[in-house]
Structure 1
């Protein structure tokens, strides 16, 4: 008999974006030292997802285990643009240290940071060896950002061999289906629908269903899911970005959602693209004037 997975619920909450639930239900008894470190990493990563960077920076001290130090680096990186250079320099230093460089959480955090930097080749340098289902799931995301769904599919196959029913395997399958499009959109929708029946509804699940609906041309239904997601988290970047797109398709005003997105997430791709388009338009007007 395999030992019960004491962290299953906590991990699941984190993967599906139920970050507050992950934090609230993190008091799991009888954990081994390794499990305790994994639990603390998940809790602190949940705080990071909720934007509580300073709490993580304050609570993880220099005597903490390597995985926790790595999570602290992620909080430092995200907390301020001024920290980015020193954080990346620390990451390179740690990754080059033979004693800790191969730590899976350190490699995962490196992958996340370099993905944020849009330096996908550097990210893959540290994640591509895999070793954990989290690393394979991150590889799927990186390959999809590189528009290499063929490589993403290979990673998904590995995940399915490790654990076909794992939440991350199902999520990766849905991401790939959305990227491939066509008849695969319906399959992606069914995965998110299955999550919404099994687990508490989160912004991540609602956005997943909404994006599927938009791909299928059901913008009214998509808007319903997105407004429900907005009620859960008014600052969620993906919800706001998807509402901008959905509103445009429905012929409704979208400027309020875009303004909220600019305030809460000025580095979001949609904000950058909109700003670039506005600047091009202004230049064109000046040339004509």
Structure 2
């Protein structure tokens, strides 16, 4: 008889953005094997990182912790301050080059996440493309979508479907790919997020997924309603704020409050960077005319 997956609920909460629920779930788990215990701790600390509790993670993971947890601490250091980025990436490169620990799956996953943040997609793929678990495959899908390589993203999705078609990450990856594909596939993506909303706790991730589908289908009033619900759950979530800014423009409302909020709290967000670039181009054009 197959042994029960004691970490299923914890993983699922984390994948769907129910980070506090993931943390709470971990407190109710029985005694785990050493390997499962490390995975549990890594998911809990990554949940705290997702909630922006970087310092808690930095303080609690000491130098005696396993490689996987040291890698998670690197992610917390990287995200906690722009001043930490250079030294964090330097440490990451050093660890990846160490034959004793360089192939650790969580270290490779964290490397992929950090290089994805850096928009260094080729470097990210160096460490994630060999796969090893569903999270690495799902991260590959995200990287290929950022590179506008839907063909490679589809190949990764097929690999995930062969492993477990019903896995939460497989379903999420399918929804991301459908959103990127557009057209009739948007409805399929919406149905995936709708299914999640009926089965699991409603989260900002699920609400944003449904809202983006609605926006792509031209249903901006429904999208706004979903995004306001997401904002009530997490007023600082950058994707919710960014999506609300875009949605507001389409329904004829001012987006300045959301854009200002995004600039103040997430100045490195892609929407902020694009607006800043457009503003600089406009200013240069004005000066050229003057």
TM range (shorter): over 0.9
- Residue 99 (structure 1) aligned with residue 113 (structure 2): no
**Where does structure 1 differ by over 6 angstroms across 4 or more consecutive aligned residues?**
none
* Map 1:1-289 → 2, pairs under 5 A: 1-27=1-27, 28-289=29-290
Query: Structure 2 CA distance, aligned partners of 1:226 and 1:11?
Result: 25
Query: Structure 1 CA distance, aligned partners of 2:169 and 2:226?
Result: 22
Once the 2 structures are TM-superposed, how far is the Cα of residue 283 of structure 1 from its aligned partner?
Answer: 2.4
Query: Structure 2 CA distance, aligned partners of 1:26 and 1:209?
Result: 28
Query: Structure 2 CA distance, aligned partners of 1:233 and 1:75?
Result: 20
Once the 2 structures are TM-superposed, how far is the Cα of residue 264 of structure 1 from its aligned partner?
Answer: 1.4
**Any gaps of 5 or more consecutive residues in structure 1?**
none
TM-score (norm 2): 0.98
| More divergent stretch after superposition (124-133 vs 272-281) | 272-281
Query: Structure 2 CA distance, aligned partners of 1:121 and 1:252?
Result: 39
Query: Structure 2 CA distance, aligned partners of 1:264 and 1:152?
Result: 31
Once the 2 structures are TM-superposed, how far is the Cα of residue 285 of structure 1 from its aligned partner?
Answer: 2.5
Once the 2 structures are TM-superposed, how far is the Cα of residue 277 of structure 1 from its aligned partner?
Answer: 1.1
Query: Structure 1 CA distance, aligned partners of 2:2 and 2:170?
Result: 21
Deviations 1:236-282 (A, max 9, x none): 01001111110001011000000111111110000011111112222
Query: Structure 1 CA distance, aligned partners of 2:64 and 2:30?
Result: 23
Query: What SS class does the counterpart of residue 100 from structure 1 fall into?
Result: coil
Query: Structure 1 CA distance, aligned partners of 2:31 and 2:165?
Result: 28
Query: Structure 1 CA distance, aligned partners of 2:124 and 2:289?
Result: 44
Query: What SS class does the counterpart of residue 253 from structure 2 fall into?
Result: coil
Once the 2 structures are TM-superposed, how far is the Cα of residue 92 of structure 1 from its aligned partner?
Answer: 0.8
Query: Structure 2 CA distance, aligned partners of 1:124 and 1:287?
Result: 42
Query: What SS class does the counterpart of residue 267 from structure 1 fall into?
Result: coil
Once the 2 structures are TM-superposed, how far is the Cα of residue 286 of structure 1 from its aligned partner?
Answer: 2.9
Once the 2 structures are TM-superposed, how far is the Cα of residue 185 of structure 1 from its aligned partner?
Answer: 0.4
CA RMSD of aligned residues (A): 0.8
Query: Structure 2 CA distance, aligned partners of 1:286 and 1:132?
Result: 53
Once the 2 structures are TM-superposed, how far is the Cα of residue 25 of structure 1 from its aligned partner?
Answer: 1.6
Number of equivalenced pairs: 289
TM-score (norm 1): 0.99
Query: Structure 1 CA distance, aligned partners of 2:101 and 2:142?
Result: 25
Query: What SS class does the counterpart of residue 235 from structure 2 fall into?
Result: coil
Query: Structure 2 CA distance, aligned partners of 1:122 and 1:166?
Result: 27
Once the 2 structures are TM-superposed, how far is the Cα of residue 284 of structure 1 from its aligned partner?
Answer: 2.3
Query: What SS class does the counterpart of residue 25 from structure 1 fall into?
Result: helix
**Any gaps of 5 or more consecutive residues in structure 2?**
none
